[in-house]
Structure 1
């Protein structure tokens, strides 16, 4: 188990005795939104009541990435971010199944017997009502319940969570982010959408115009609407700074380069090599191309002023 509480299950590798016989929340849990929290919360509640380990079992890579490797980036969280959120929710460990050709080929019954029974020794499994599993998604929650009865574990299903008239889902959150509505996404996530990445050396154009930025690669994250954001940045030492960030391809500069570039208010220092969390709080405007550096600097000053006011609310 690593420091995030992640255990990557290998082929034929059994779980430690201390974690066997747990109550397992099973699913992808990308973003760990309100609906996921309800499933994991039920597993933790049952585990505590029965004196058992509370576990989450998930998949990496995401099955969509395995079956459609060329699909656009869609992740709302990294594995490490999810594990940290799970720990905060009371989970003892997050188990990760490698989603590969072997796992994809398992029948629903074979997945239950080989992974849930033999590898994990689950005493109970909790899923969302729409959970499917096994080759060609042939298994559903009713089959899981029947297989649980046959193999000696309980199967618990948590219904969909609704918010403001709609079902909470990763799809709904992704749509909000792609449309430049980070506050709507945050309501469903229960926290701002946050991109974590290492600060890398860039071409230092921001520094030349008085706005030194931290250059962060977008990695496997969903691409939200390109534009300027009010952000809140957490450093490795726990300090938090408000700021404004460009997320996109910087149309005023050549060559175009896709980056997240936060400018931290009231900060001075060297961030190179640090891993930082950049939380998108408000969308200010789309990206734009400026004819002169002076016009760009004037707009950046206006963006920073507006971001300060929004973040001070």
Structure 2
């Protein structure tokens, strides 16, 4: 997959079929849109293109907001590639870009630099200064600029439109299994395993500790059935998010206990996929009571993940 970050290096491509957006989460709705782009590009012997932005436009337009995302930019690129996209054009979003009128955006970027043949976007797509441009404007400008506009209907799950905001809400409420049905995969958080206080090891449940990123949507404190991926190998696991109140902790972090694994993971990158919430956070009077609860958590997590081996 080709990645272009400098618009000035672009010249009109061969029959580009493209879409535009931020694509946070690359959820089932986004995936349907990307699939349409790839299919149409193959049909005309053209190039499938995604035009996206980095940083997120809201980070520039409303820097006071504490933005939290479903995916990192690198994760989005990986998901675009998995969807079969041939070319990602990433524009650096700036105050200057935010001032471009809808007509100028279509003329200067879509026509002059990209040479788009067909543009696939959702019916609620907005673009240009103050998000003033609509799909109606694209339909009006398309014939003048030599490209076709194809509106794409939203994807629904159980009667609800799949959207990034809906998924964020599900995750923030701990409903990670519902979020999975909107994403088409587990919601994941990644990081480098750090040295911990060894409380888990002392109880017979060693954990890998990960810091929680400020710019990601984080499930509420509690215990989850998870899939931890290390060195491209997935492992069933049970994970805890919280401050460890039983041990009077203050820092909120992610602790991961991988089933049937004793390897030293310090310094390794781990990705944790959240499959199901097991329980909320609890305070225990002593480590013995906590260890007893962890044993029960492991049993529930194994069942949730489809394994029933006893610990």
Preserved CA contact (<8 Å) 1:6 1:83 = no
Q: CA deviation at 1:54?
A: 0.8
Corresponding position: 1:68 with 2:62: yes
**Deviations along 1:164-196, whole A, 9 cap, x unmatched?**
111111111112111211111111111111112
Q: CA deviation at 1:268?
A: 2.0
Q: Which runs of 5+ in 2 are unaligned?
A: none
1:217, 1:60 → 2: CA distance?
A: 24
Relative to 1, partners in 2 of residues 1:45 and 1:279: Cα closer, same or farther, differing over 3 Å?
same
Corresponding position: 1:104 with 2:98: yes
SS of the aligned residue for 1:155 comes to: strand
Which of 27, 30, 45 is the equivalent residue of 1:33? Answer: 27
Corresponding position: 1:215 with 2:225: no
Corresponding position: 1:301 with 2:292: no
Instruction: Name whichever of 155-164 and 251-260 sits farther off.
Output: 251-260
Q: Could you tell me which residue of structure 1 aligns to residue 225 of structure 2? A: 230
1:234, 1:44 → 2: CA distance?
A: 29
Relative to 1, partners in 2 of residues 1:268 and 1:20: Cα closer, same or farther, differing over 3 Å?
farther
Corresponding position: 1:252 with 2:246: yes
2:64, 2:243 → 1: CA distance?
A: 21
State the Cα RMSD in Å: 1.9
Q: CA deviation at 1:8?
A: 4.6
**Deviations along 1:67-92, whole A, 9 cap, x unmatched?**
33343443111122222222121111
Q: Which runs of 5+ in 1 are unaligned?
A: none
Between Structure 1 and Structure 2, how many residues are aligned? 306
Preserved CA contact (<8 Å) 1:8 1:98 = no
Q: Could you tell me which residue of structure 2 aligns to residue 195 of structure 1? A: 189
1:100, 1:254 → 2: CA distance?
A: 44
Q: Could you tell me which residue of structure 2 aligns to residue 9 of structure 1? A: 5
1:312, 1:259 → 2: CA distance?
A: 26
TM-score (norm 2): 0.91
Preserved CA contact (<8 Å) 2:50 2:89 = yes
Write out the 4+ residue segments of structure 1 that deviate beyond 4 Å after TM superposition.
none
TM-score (norm 1): 0.91
2:212, 2:115 → 1: CA distance?
A: 37
